Structure 1
């Protein structure tokens, strides 16, 4: 009898729990905003666009400088992140995997905002504004996916493991798209975006029509589509000439934005160099200094880039590094180092065009010489005996021109070249002088959390 009553009690109690559960499921969440209420008008769409722009930062710059031959690990740094510099990172190393999550958060914001824009009925001037926002969102989606590809692809060639290209906000288990699929999807988004952004829109803190051309030029370089690389680079060069020698130093203090095509605006009153450019000085300790290998490539007397990029401080003695990264130093005492991040510049376009011309047909030497003449006092044009020497010169010029802008590691990977440091740059790197192309760390790892949760993804080889 007692057993029968107990079973009836359990049955009734279960029904009550089920009923309560169903009732609870019918409640409207109070800690989230329903999509149909999040984007009520064109102003809400703009906020969504700005939310995606907000995730542009200098994280990639720090990673690229640390794992390549741009920076060195000075003796005075006893607190800095050394696993990346010593090529000891793995899927659990946030120093090289954090951008993965950040960029996908940005992409999710983009896709949610696009869905919100699709649901709106726009009238009057909002129609044109909405079209521009759509263009910016599509271009941003292409840009963030391309950055993910540069960071986490197993290699830059057809058939290589790329990243999932997300065209909608959804919860699931996406598999990794191949390199060429990501390239094709990004190209399609950029083609759709370009006509939506009016030529009259010139805000450099947002994506303009010319900025789309710049993204297309860089993407074409990685695709090895030389004709498109030349064509898109020419579009940018025609719109934005190189900075003069007088203007160039001011780019890095935000005194001017000559030849800057697209930049990430940074605001504030405190020095945030450690967070964004952790090869800079903080608290009187140089965490990452410019590599002697990089320093030695410059004509220290005539190259205007040298003092703009690198500072020598003779007062720092003993174990302290006398060389510091001067780029992004800032122009005010209230916020030193808080300088806008230059995402695309005309100098890069000259080098993209030169490399593409060297690989096909065209005056590659002419473009290389034109850039050098703009940067080096009393420069005399140089001719090259063959393609190999010309390509080598272009790669070295990229090393100098684009130092600490987030390219060097990817450039070496594009050319299937090892990372080779001077012994002097690896004195505190436990012998990490050469990173061969066959080592796992030659490709950055997919985060461990992604591998453990996403049943359809796989890790890069050899991890």
Structure 2
């Protein structure tokens, strides 16, 4: 976030010592004048697409690698495994890269938002202008929320959050507390909803329904159970669950049922391979954990084959279990499937958890989701709240596997990351990560600490 600012500051200092005052009035020739960067709606759209382009799968993969979703197979002798072994520090790019990436997206968003106010629009262009503004505000909220999930010290009031940046500027922003980040994100999302029309339904961009999905997830982290129920219900009412026949097609891009928002990926995109946890040449970097595999009814649960592949031809030190999710349309291009950011299945689990924490029919939502995924499923009854919450957590483990939730879900519930011994044979003893350990929250990058005098690191690093 700060690197480009340092470069600009140093350049300014050199110019100050070299030229006279009159020379300082000259416009830089190697930068775009902000007043000329956004002249019309097409420019605004290009700037908006530039913000979307920064979003990738890094935190999705990191969630699996740092949690108990995957295991490190013996055949992986080629990748940095610090994240999986919980050996990361502020200097570990494997866990800190997203910090700069999301702030780069936020900076682009804020520049476009500043530029859009200076453009004169015709009456016929007003609706499109408003939609773009809504997308920008929703994206800004989403990016800050992702930063909060990854780099917030805890998900509770008073905990260290992240700077909520509303303008593009040079400075040393301090970390806003958790509740301030949440409040700002909620305000941006609420405003976004007033700008985006319900008629806009492009799932590769943020729609009004996608805003509701972000609001539901944010409310879950805030433990605002009423809002979580309200917004998840809004999504559920508009986007039914996929049928058992439709569900596998979601992951090969044959179907879009229950997909609320996705990141479009094309054959030339190089940012997809790590979603498949493989490397060119067929090396499996990370395989589904036995702990995850054991939660599925392998015969009757449609999710099992959609998410996990068993290949008996892989022998020796090779893992016979592979991540099948995101395989795409052809086996020759693994990982080319569009990245699903929000689905209706998650909304059922958000509402179930919120209902379990309040007075709703949590068991009903949990049973509805299971019935949609498992052939011959019989509704279950739960003796008490604790049993029900545990069942919902387990269902999130299964339903949302490899979608970027497991590590954060454990943190939300202040639960340890607990791997089976069989899943930790190559981790040098990395079996249990306790909430009291530093690595329970990802560290801020060392560079941010070195140049931003007003920021602080997460505890115990």
TM-score of the superposed pair, with normalisation by structure 1: 0.94
Aligned to 1:236: 235
Alignment gaps of 5+ in structure 1 = 1-16
Aligned to 1:55: 54
Alignment pair present for 1:158 and 2:165: no
**TM alignment of 1:379-418, pairs within 5 A:** 379-418=377-416
Aligned to 1:30: 29
In 2, distance between residues paired with 1:211 and 1:56?
15
Deviation at 1:80, TM superposition (A): 1.4
State which of 353, 371, 386 in structure 1 corresponds to 2:351. 353
SS at match of 2:83: coil
In 2, distance between residues paired with 1:168 and 1:386?
48
In 1, distance between residues paired with 2:40 and 2:271?
35
Aligned to 1:98: 97
In 2, distance between residues paired with 1:269 and 1:197?
30
In 1, distance between residues paired with 2:263 and 2:95?
21
8 Å contact from structure 1 (residues 70, 403) kept in 2: yes
Deviation at 1:27, TM superposition (A): 2.8
In 1, distance between residues paired with 2:96 and 2:207?
29
Deviation at 1:123, TM superposition (A): 1.1
Deviation at 1:270, TM superposition (A): 6.7
Corresponding pairs, count: 446
Deviation at 1:19, TM superposition (A): 7.1
Going from structure 1 to structure 2, the CA distance change for 1:389 and 1:124 (only over 3 Å counts) comes to same
Alignment pair present for 1:319 and 2:317: yes
In 2, distance between residues paired with 1:420 and 1:81?
21
Deviation at 1:311, TM superposition (A): 0.2
Deviation at 1:260, TM superposition (A): 0.1
Aligned to 1:142: 141
Q: What is the CA deviation profile of residues 61-112 of structure 1, one whole-angstrom value per residue up to 9, with x for unaligned ones?
A: 1110000000111000001121000000000000000000000000000000
Alignment gaps of 5+ in structure 2 = 1-15
8 Å contact from structure 1 (residues 270, 335) kept in 2: no
SS at match of 2:309: strand
In 2, distance between residues paired with 1:334 and 1:301?
26
Going from structure 1 to structure 2, the CA distance change for 1:89 and 1:328 (only over 3 Å counts) comes to same
Aligned to 1:14: none
Deviation at 1:124, TM superposition (A): 2.2
Q: What is the CA deviation profile of residues 384-414 of structure 1, one whole-angstrom value per residue up to 9, with x for unaligned ones?
A: 0000000000000000000000000000000
**TM alignment of 1:296-307, pairs within 5 A:** 296-307=294-305
In 1, distance between residues paired with 2:146 and 2:268?
29
**TM alignment of 1:71-220, pairs within 5 A:** 71-220=70-219
8 Å contact from structure 2 (residues 141, 186) kept in 1: yes
SS at match of 1:149: helix
Q: What is the CA deviation profile of residues 412-463 of structure 1, one whole-angstrom value per residue up to 9, with x for unaligned ones?
A: 0000000000011111100000001100000100100000000000000000
Give the structure with higher Rg (CA): 1
Going from structure 1 to structure 2, the CA distance change for 1:77 and 1:334 (only over 3 Å counts) comes to closer
TM-score of the superposed pair, with normalisation by structure 2: 0.95
RMSD: 1.3
Which moved further from structure 2: 337-346 or 25-34?
25-34
Deviation at 1:336, TM superposition (A): 3.2
